[in-house]
Chain A
Amino acid sequence: DAGITQSPRHKVTETGTPVTLRCHQTENHRYMYWYRQDPGHGLRLIHYSYGVKDTDKGEVSDGYSVSRSKTEDFLLTLESATSSQTSVYFCAISRWTGLNTGELFFGEGSRLTVL
C-alpha cells in the first residue's frame, strides 16, 4: 500500500462544468503523476509534478490543469469538461528516480463520465 487516495472515485458531470480530482499521498514522495486510461490506449500521462509548485505537461495535457500547493496533494482540474474527457483517471507516485522511475504506484482511480 503506497498510501495514495483519490477523490472522488466516481463522478458524473455535464459538458462545460468544471471538475477537480484530488490525489492525496501519505508518504511524502516528490514525484506525482496524473494519467488517463481509455479502451484501446495505454495509460497516457496528463501532467506530472516534481515538487511543490513544480509541474509540467505530459502527452495529453490539453484541457487539463494541475496544482500542487502541498507535497501530499496533487489536484487535476478540467476547467470545462467535454465528453472526450470521459475516462478513468489514475494518480501515481514514484518512489525512485533514475531508471527505476518506472516503478510507479497508483491510486485506485477516479471514474469520470461527462454527459
Chain B
Amino acid sequence: RKEVEQDPGPFNVPEGATVAFNCTYSNSASQSFFWYRQDCRKEPKLLMSVYSSGNEDGRFTAQLNRASQYISLLIRDSKLSDSATYLCVVGSSGSARQLTFGSGTQLTVLP
C-alpha cells in the first residue's frame, strides 16, 4: 500500500462545475499536509497548505480528516485554467525529508 494515495483520474469536468479530490495517507503520525498544482511538463507549485480546521482560498477549499486519514481539495466554479495535475503531499515531521508525494490527480476542465 502506498503511503499517500490519490485517484489518478483523469477527471474531465465542464467549466463552472465543482470537483473534489481526495487523498488518503497511511501514517497516522502525519503532521503537515499540502496540495500542489503541476501543469503539464512544468514544475509543481504550492497551491495551499491544509490546516486542521480546514481552509479556503478563493474557489479552493482544503479539508483534513485525521480520523479517516484523508485530505480533500474542492474546486468550485472550475475554470479552463484549473486544468492541471494536483499533487497531495503529506509530512510526518518538520523535515522535508519526511515529505511523501502522491502521484497526482489529473484534472481537465472542458469548455
Contacts and interface: CB of A to CB of B under 8 A. Distances in A.
A107 B42 CA distance: 9
Interface in B36-68: 42-46, 49
Nearest to B45: A106
A44 B97 CA distance: 10
A107 B95 CA distance: 19
Given A42-B104, A102-B91, A48 B97 contact: yes
A98 B43 CA distance: 23
Contacts of B89: 102
B21 interface: no
Main secondary structure of the interface of A (DSSP, over half): mixed
Nearest to A99: B32
Contacts of A100: 32, 49
B49 A43 contact: no
A84 interface: no
Chain B interface mostly: strand
A54 to B, nearest CB: 13
Contact of B99 (A97, A102, A107): A102
Among B44, B94, B100, chain A packs the most CB atoms within 10 A around the CB of B44
Nearest to A58: B97
A90 B44 contact: yes
Contacts of A43: 44, 87, 101
Contacts of B33: 102
A99 B100 CA distance: 13
B33 to A, nearest CB: 8
Contacts of A102: 32-34, 49, 89, 91, 96, 99
23 contacts: A33-B96, A41-B103, A42-B4, A42-B87, A42-B102, A42-B103, A42-B104, A45-B96, A45-B97, A58-B97, A92-B96, A94-B96, A99-B31, A100-B32, A101-B32, A101-B91, A101-B94, A103-B46, A103-B49, A104-B44, A104-B46, A105-B46, A108-B42
Interface of B: 4, 31-34, 42-46, 49, 87, 89, 91, 94-97, 99-104
Given A97-B94, A104-B96, 4 more contacts: A42-B102, A58-B97, A90-B44, A92-B96
